Amino acid sequence: MVVEIDRNAGFCWGVVRAIDFAEKELSSSKKLYSLGDVIHNSAEVSRLAQLGLSTVTVEDFSALPKGSKVLIRAHGEPPSTYQKALEFEIELIDATCPVVTKVQERIKKFVDKKYQIVIFGKKDHAEVVGLSGVTGNTAVVIINLEEALGKVDLSKPTVLFSQTTMDKDTFASIAKALKSKVKELIIGSIEDEAVDFHAKDTICGQVSGREKKLREFALSHDVVIFTAGKKSSNGKVLFNISKEENEKTFFVEASDELNFDWFRSAETIGITGATSTPQWVMESIKQAIENHFKK
C-alpha cells in the first residue's frame, strides 16, 4: 500500500501570511486576539491557542484592555471594524489577504461611481461580510444563478464580483446570464481596470488553479482522504471536486475520524486538503494509516 500526500494541498499564501503574522506577534507577546477563527481549521486554531491566541468578536472590543492587539485574519473586515478599534483603542494587526484587499479596493471604486454591486458568495462568510461592508451593506449577495436573476435590478449599471474562494464555473454561468439581461454589466477584476466577463475575475487564482491538479490526483488513487475544517468554504468546494472524480473520496477533519474499512483492497491512498489545511494534519493522517496497516 502506498500512501501519498498531495504536494499541491495545504495553506495558500494568504493563510501562510496570516499564520506568520500571528506566530511572529506571539513570539514576543503572551497575548494576542484573533477576530474570528484565524483559519477554518480547528486543529490549527487549537495549536495557536496554546501559544496564546484567543478568538474574539467586534462586540468584545469594549471589554478588552485598551491597547490590546487584535489580528484581522486573511478574510478581511468591513470598515466598521476599523472604526470600532479606534473607538476602543484597540491595535489592529492587519493580515487581510492582499487578494481580498484588492477586491475591496475595486468595489469601493464602483461604489463611488454609483454602480449596483453584486457579490457572488455566501452572505454570512467572513470575507463577504467585509466586501459587503465596503458598500455600506447595500451589495446584492447571490449564491446561484436563480438568486442572481431574482435579486439583481436588471435596469441598473451593475458590477459583478466574487468571493475569492467560490466555484469558477458557477461564476462564469452567472456572468453569462447577467450579460444577456443587464444593459451595462462589468465583471469586477483585481486588475487596475474592469474588464468584460471573458477576462480575469476575482476568484483567487491559487484556489481555482488547484481544480485541474486535484482532479488528476483524485483519479490517480484508489481512495482519497480529504481533510479540512468543517467550516471551510474552500474545503467544501474542493472536496466535491475530488468526489466527482473519485467516489471513494472521504472527508475527515482529523485522523481520529478515519474508518479503516475504507481502505479494503486499496493499493494507493491519496491525502489532500483545503487551502486552510495544515501540512502537519495531513502528515498525522498519513502516519495513522501507515501505523494501522503495519500491525
- Whether residue 83 is found in the same domain as residue 134: no
- Whether residue 17 is found in the same domain as residue 59: yes
List the one residue out of 104, 101, 70 whose CA is nearest residue 85.
70
Q: What is the pLDDT of residue 48?
A: 94
Burial class (CB in 10 A: 0-12, 13-18, 19+), 4: middle
CB-CB contact of 117 with 110 (8 Å): yes
CB-CB contact of 29 with 23 (8 Å): no
Domain residues for the domain of 275 are: 2-9+207-294
- pLDDT single digits (tens) 2-15: 999 999 998 888 88
- Of 42, 70, 97, the residue at which a domain comes to its end is 97
- Whether residue 185 is found in the same domain as residue 276: no
- Whether residue 249 is found in the same domain as residue 290: yes
**Is 244 in the active site?**
no
- pLDDT single digits (tens) 124-172: 999 999 999 999 999 999 999 999 999 999 999 999 999 988 878 888 8
Which residues contact residue 93 at a Cβ distance below 8 angstroms, ignoring those fewer than 6 apart? Answer: 21, 25, 32, 69, 70, 71, 72
- pLDDT single digits (tens) 210-266: 888 999 999 999 999 999 988 887 788 899 999 999 999 999 999 999 999 999 999
- Whether residue 197 is found in the same domain as residue 252: no
- pLDDT single digits (tens) 236-246: 889 999 999 99
Angle between the N-to-C axes of helices 126-134 and 98-112, in degrees from 0 to 180, rounded to the nearest 10:
30
Number of domains within the chain: 3
- Whether residue 125 is found in the same domain as residue 193: yes
Q: What is the pLDDT of residue 216?
A: 96
Q: Exactly one of 25, 44, 77, 127 is catalytic; name it.
A: 127
CATH number at residue 277: 3.40.1010.20
- Of 47, 79, 97, the residue at which a domain comes to its end is 97
Distance CA 146, CA 118 (A): 14
- pLDDT single digits (tens) 75-123: 999 999 999 999 999 999 999 999 899 999 999 999 999 999 999 999 9
User: Alpha carbon of 96 to those of 39, 177, 185, 228: distances in Å?
Assistant: 12, 32, 28, 21
- Whether residue 190 is found in the same domain as residue 223: no
CB-CB contact of 182 with 142 (8 Å): no
- Whether residue 115 is found in the same domain as residue 175: yes
Q: What is the pLDDT of residue 189?
A: 63
- Whether residue 117 is found in the same domain as residue 105: yes
